[in-house]
C-alpha cells in the first residue's frame, strides 16, 4: 500500500512539475520570441531522415510588420471568433462534432450498400474528420506537443491553451502563430511564406494573396504542390470577402 501511495505521489509531482515548466516557458514568450516549436523540430528531423537534408525557412517579423490582410485572412479562415473566445470555441467544437457524426453516418451507409469487393475500398478510405480547434489550441499543440491523438494529449492541449490565454495577449498569441505555423515543406512563418509564394515581404501582401495563404493552412504541403487548385482559388475568394468584418486584436 505504501509503495502504491509513493508511486501516486511521484506521478502527481511529475505532472505538477511539468505544468510549472510550461508556465515558465509561456511566461517567457511574453517578451522572448520562441526559436522553434515541437512541430518544427519534428518536421526537420523527418526531412533529414527521409531526404538527407535540413529544409527550414523561417524569418521572424514583428506583429506590426505582418500585413493586416494576412491577420484578418487567417482569423477569418481558421478561427472567426479568435478575438472573443478564451481559447476554446465551444460552438465550433459542437459544429465539428455534428459534421463528423454526419460524415461517419454517410460513410457507414455507403459501406452497407457497397458490394463485397468495393467494401474493402470504402473501409480503406475513412470519412474526412473536421476539426474545431482555435488558433490558440493550434499554437499550443505546435509549440509543445507531439502529433499523437490521445485523450491525455488532448487534455494537456487544453491546459496549455488556457495558459497561453492567461499569460499572453491575443496580439502576442497571433504574432507567435503567424511566425511559426507551417506553410509548406520546411516553410514556417508568414515572412518565409510570402517570400516563397509571392516573392515579397509579409507586410506587402494584398488581400487576395493573404487569403490564398490562409486557405493553405490546414493542408500546406498539399496546396504547395497544387498552386492552380480550383478549390484554393474559390475558397480564397470567399475568405477575402469575409475579411472586412474581422476585428483584429
246-209-179 Cα angle (round to 5): 70
> Residue 33's pLDDT is what?
96
Got the DSSP string for 31-100? TS--S--HHHHHHHHHHHHHHSS---B-----GGGS-HHHHHHHHHHH-TTTTTSSS--HHHHHHHHHHH
On the 0-12 / 13-18 / 19+ scale of CB atoms within 10 A, 209 is: buried
Segment 38-94, tens digit of pLDDT: 999 999 999 999 988 888 999 999 999 999 999 999 999 999 999 999 888 777 666
CA atoms within 13 A on the CB side of 6: 3
> Residue 3's pLDDT is what?
76
Segment 130-181, tens digit of pLDDT: 446 899 999 999 999 977 778 888 899 999 999 999 999 999 999 999 999 9
Mean of all residue pLDDT scores within the chain:
87
Segment 183-203, tens digit of pLDDT: 999 999 999 999 999 999 999
The answer to whether the beta carbons of residues 194 and 202 sit under 8 Å apart is yes
Crossing angle of the two packed helices 68-78 and 230-242, in degrees rounded to 10: 110
Q: Which residues have C-beta within 8 Å of that of residue 184, sequence separation ≥ 6?
A: 193, 196, 197, 216, 220, 221, 224
Higher per-residue pLDDT: 49 or 111: 49
> Residue 126's pLDDT is what?
44
Amino acid at each position: 500500500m505504501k509503495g502504491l501511495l509513493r508511486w501516486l505521489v511521484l506521478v502527481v509531482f511529475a505532472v505538477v512539475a511539468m505544468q510549472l515548466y510550461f508556465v515558465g516557458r509561456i511566461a517567457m514568450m511574453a517578451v522572448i520570441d520562441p526559436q522553434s516549436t515541437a512541430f518544427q523540430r519534428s518536421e526537420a528531423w523527418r526531412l533529414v531522415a527521409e531526404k538527407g537534408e535540413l529544409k527550414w525557412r523561417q524569418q521572424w517579423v514583428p506583429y506590426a510588420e505582418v500585413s493586416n490582410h494576412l491577420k484578418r485572412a487567417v482569423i477569418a479562415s481558421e478561427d472567426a471568433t479568435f478575438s472573443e473566445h478564451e481559447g476554446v470555441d465551444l460552438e465550433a467544437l459542437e459544429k465539428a462534432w455534428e459534421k463528423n457524426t454526419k460524415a461517419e453516418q454517410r460513410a457507414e451507409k455507403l459501406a452497407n450498400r457497397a458490394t463485397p469487393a468495393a467494401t474493402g475500398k470504402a473501409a480503406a478510405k475513412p470519412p474526412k474528420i473536421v476539426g474545431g480547434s482555435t488558433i490558440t489550441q493550434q499554437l499550443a499543440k505546435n509549440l509543445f506537443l507531439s502529433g499523437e491523438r490521445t485523450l491525455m494529449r488532448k487534455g494537456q492541449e487544453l491546459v496549455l491553451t488556457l495558459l497561453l490565454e492567461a499569460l499572453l495577449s491575443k496580439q502576442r498569441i497571433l504574432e507567435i502563430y503567424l511566425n511559426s505555423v507551417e506553410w509548406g515543406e520546411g516553410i514556417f512563418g508568414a515572412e518565409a511564406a510570402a517570400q516563397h509564394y509571392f516573392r515579397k515581404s509579409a507586410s506587402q501582401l494584398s488581400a487576395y494573396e493573404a487569403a490564398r495563404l490562409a486557405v493553405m493552412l490546414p493542408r500546406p504541403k498539399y496546396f504547395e504542390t497544387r498552386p492552380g487548385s480550383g478549390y484554393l482559388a474559390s475558397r480564397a475568394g470567399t475568405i477575402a470577402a469575409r475579411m472586412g468584418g474581422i476585428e483584429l486584436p
